[in-house]
A and B are shown apart, each in its own frame.
Chain A
Amino acid sequence: MTEPEQSYELATARLEEIIRRLDSGEAGLRETLDLVKEGRTLVEYCAGELEAVSQGLDEIKLDELIARLEAQSPEGE
């Protein structure tokens, strides 16, 4: 069984859902603690995604990328 693919938009959508539930004040103590734990995991994931596109612009020409990929590809494959 594979886990559903995570994405920034899915993570932020779930995070918003969690905060709405918490802010409603309807969650009990156990649910609140579970939601907070899940929310913090999502925040970490999202922060990682933002960090990945904040490392500084990395520009490469398509020809060079193809050449690099072909060089990496094992011969005969």
Chain B
Amino acid sequence: MKVISIKKNPTAAIKESIKTLKNGGIIVYPTETCYGLGVDPTNQQAVDKLISYKTFRADKPISIAVFDKKMADKYVTLNDTAKNLYKEYLPGPFTIISKSKGKVAHGVESNIKTLGIRIPAYEFMLNLIKEFNSPITATSANVSYKKTPYSLKDILSNTSQKQQELIDLVLDAKTLPKISPSTVIDTTLDDVNVLRQGDIILKRTHKVITKTQQETRTFGEKLVSNLIKKKLNKPIIIALQGELGTGKTQLCKGIAKRLGVKQEVLSPTFIICREYKLTQDFDKLFHMDIYKLANAQELLDLGFREMLKGHNLIVIEWAEKASKIIKEMNKEAFIVWINMYHKSETERIIEYGEYS
């Protein structure tokens, strides 16, 4: 293990780092938070070496540090949320997660093909990455579950001889101020594929305008009354689309009231699915908010097929996230599609129709 002071020998430190990284070695480097561990994330052997240093990692991914947004663009797809965060908060103590382009070694991306990117607000490191002209890994230099390292001593006193031998170069900047590790931000949930007109062709479409929350609830009650009148012999899916605050949960409150649910119908967002046992008309009411699902497959993981086996009513908020799967269920279930929009602070436009 070679130690170079970045204050005394900045030029040598950069030169030696690049040599080490190119040879698949591990460097320990300072940042505006704690000491980090750097290898070339596109070099599989180097990444494997890094993982063996960190010991127990389960399937935890490894973030990478880049010089600027342009360099990040090569490795991840940046959506509007990510672009704005880069503009406002980077460089800085944030790790921003986006969809990976698959250009890094195995073990760097997460198992859902996302990748965390960091631009450290630490001038020396930015110079080093710029000079290297490629990203380096950005994981803290401690062994998993051990103390966050702010000095070389923190690292040495918590690692075995064997682990220390894996480190090729230490860029020493003495003791760093104790600033917490970077905050991780996931931007990939904002990749909602909004359905456009024509994506879903509905029969018998209707449009109503509700002026208050109460009217939105009453609409929900009437909708269910009409569905009950149809005496359908299959489960019903009510697929809801509409941005935040358009009254999706209010609508579901009306639906639940008509079905005789006595308790307060609360938002299912956190838990994704709330279910209510019914005593009239249907067996169960399932109320889902699938905004946080990473993919449509996770709807099936929730037991969606089983829900369709009984005489159940299933309300799905953010249905556009799994529209393909929902559409495929049109034989097993009767599907009503609803789009909700803001008209004014209190008024809402509700468009709805059957999907078949």
Q: Do A and B come from one complex?
A: no
Give chain B's interface residues, CB within 8 Å of chain A. Answer: none
Give chain A's interface residues, CB within 8 Å of chain B. Answer: none
